[in-house]
Amino acid sequence: MSVVTVLLIGIVANLDNVGISISYGLRFNRIPFKYNLTISFISMVFAIISLEAGAYFADILKTQAANLIGGSLLIAIGIWLIIKSIFFEQAPTRKEITTIDLREAVTVGFIMALNCLTIGFGAGITGAPSLQTAFSIGVFSIVSIIIGVELGHKIGNTWFGKNADNVGAILLIIIGLYEIFI
């Protein structure tokens, strides 16, 4: 597997991290670098586990089944994000920037790592090298969080900014359907 492929897997595994990070920026949150590293480390651990599992099951599990499982997870996460935005979250009422704590960083790390499970599993089935791919996922996780939070701070008061969570959730559902049916 080429270096370019490993880098692309790292980028793709973190596209949803940009959306999640934007939502943090929209709420005027800040993610300190040490917590960004915590989140990225969790993603790397999940990636290694899923890459190894994918390699193990490559001969047993058909790609179609892996796509069904991974796509269903993405759809479920998208639906949950929509339900959460409708019933549990309120629009931010303050403009000052707040900082997340370690507990929230770990929680966010596990949430963001869910996508790494499906992508890592699929990449493992295709023979992607575990350590290099997990490192790529970790590096691009750091970058995506920085970019996402900054974008969220900049677009927070626009129409897109106010609806970014639902747009991101719909995109996850579309990606999940794509994984299942195409």
Give the C-alpha separation, 127 to 119, whole Å: 12
The pLDDT of residue 31 is 93
Which helix (H) or strand (E) segment holds residue 64: the answer is: helix 63-87
pLDDT in tens, 150-159: 988 888 777 7
- φ/ψ region of 2 (left if φ > 0, alpha if ψ in -120 to 50, else beta) reads beta
Contact 98, 30 (CB under 8 A): yes
Burial class (CB in 10 A: 0-12, 13-18, 19+), 24: buried
The pLDDT of residue 1 is 62
Here the CATH number for the domain that contains residue 49 is 1.20.1250
Give the C-alpha separation, 20 to 125, whole Å: 27
State the residue range of the domain holding 75: 3-181
pLDDT in tens, 21-74: 887 887 778 899 999 999 999 999 999 999 998 888 766 766 677 667 766 766
pLDDT in tens, 80-136: 778 877 876 555 444 567 888 999 889 888 888 877 787 888 788 778 899 999 999
The pLDDT of residue 70 is 64
Total domains, the chain: 1
pTM over 0.75: no
The pLDDT of residue 61 is 64
Give the C-alpha separation, 181 to 50, whole Å: 22
The pLDDT of residue 45 is 94
